[in-house]
Amino acid sequence: MFQVSGIVFRGVSLPAPAARNPEGPAPRAWILRDIDLEIPLGTVFTILGPSGSGKTSLLRLINRLTDPQSGEILFAGKPLQSFEPTQLRRRIGYIFQVPTMLPGTVADNLAYGANLGQSGRHLLPDRAEMLRRLRDVALDETYLNRSAERLSVGEQQRVSIARSLMTSPEVLLMDEPTSALDPAATTRLLALITKLHERHGLTIVFVTHQLEQARAVGEQTAILIEGRIVETGTTAEVFSSPRQPETRRFLEGRLGEETESEEQEESQ
């Protein structure tokens, strides 16, 4: 028996919700099917796949925003179910595709997670800690008292990363964090992700449908197509010598021909 650390999927399946399966010819019954995957701690791990392939659903399983129907997911050698969900989510942060700011200032947003542990009391948040986290995402202290909802989307996404960092997570799950950003903001955010990983040794699971992004940030890559992991390996290997024909077709941009009709899956 070899030692497993990191995040391990064993035979994980997730059915499509009933609401999304209206009668129709051959409705797709599974979002994720028999997923086996090992995400080592301390890496930047990319999950790459076309829209509707189940990437978001896979990511949500890791911090238990959703539970699979069958199979098992391990974190640090123990099943996810053995952790208290609220504690697990503080150790495994989640960055949503479109940032959502909580009401109030940037400081209120940063303080939210930190205050949760304090038996409901609204304590004064640790200002030094908030500033440190803002610096991590390349924002300065003038942001603290600004209204979070009035920031640009790019700034909001960085605040949402800083907000997650406030709970000192070991893993950060990122669901296409650049999808709402313009090219300049995208470049800055990708650089920031790499820096976060290097500075804090943070494990980052990065979901994207963009080949360039996977190539830019990921040390390892898994290819997810129609709810199945078709290939995993180091990013260099996967891109230069894919073993599966499906991967090859996806990398060459020819996969879309028959799966384009299943776009709605990623939109929440």
Contact residues toward another protein (CB under 8 A) are: 17-20, 63-67, 85-87, 89-90, 93-94, 96, 98, 100, 102-103, 112-113, 116-117, 120, 160, 163-164, 166-167, 268
Whole-angstrom Cα distance, residue 111 to residue 104? 11
Nearer Cβ to another protein (200/215): 200
φ, ψ (nearest 5 deg) of residue 92:
-125, 95
Q: What is the end-to-end Cα distance of the chain in Å, rounded?
A: 40
Q: Measured from the CB atom, is 151 or 230 closer to another protein?
A: 151
Task: Indicate the residue among 202 and 223 with the shorter CB distance to another protein.
Answer: 202
Nearer to another protein, 155 or 231 (CB): 155
- For the bound state, the minimum distance from the C-beta of residue 28 to another protein, rounded and expressed in Å, comes to 15
Inter-residue contact 172 to 161 (CB < 8 Å): yes
Tokens 């053995």 -> residue: 82
Residue 9: helix, strand or coil by DSSP?
Answer: strand
CB of 103 to another protein, least distance (A): 8
Instruction: Look up residue 23 and give its DSSP letter.
Output: S
Least CB distance to another protein at residue 256 (A): 25
SS (H, E, C) 156-217: HHHHHHHHHHCCCCCEEEEECCCCCCCHHHHHHHHHHHHHHHHHHCCEEEEEECCHHHHHHH
**For helices 153-165 and 127-136, angle between their N-to-C axes, nearest 10 degrees:** 130
**Minimal distance, residue 91 CB to another protein, in Å:** 9
CB of 237 to another protein, least distance (A): 32
To another protein, the closest distance from the beta carbon of 98 in angstroms equals 7
| Choice between 154 and 169, CB closer to another protein | 169
Between 115 and 239, CB nearer to another protein = 115
Distances in whole angstroms, Cα of residue 218 to Cα of each of 14, 94, 206, 237? 25, 17, 8, 12
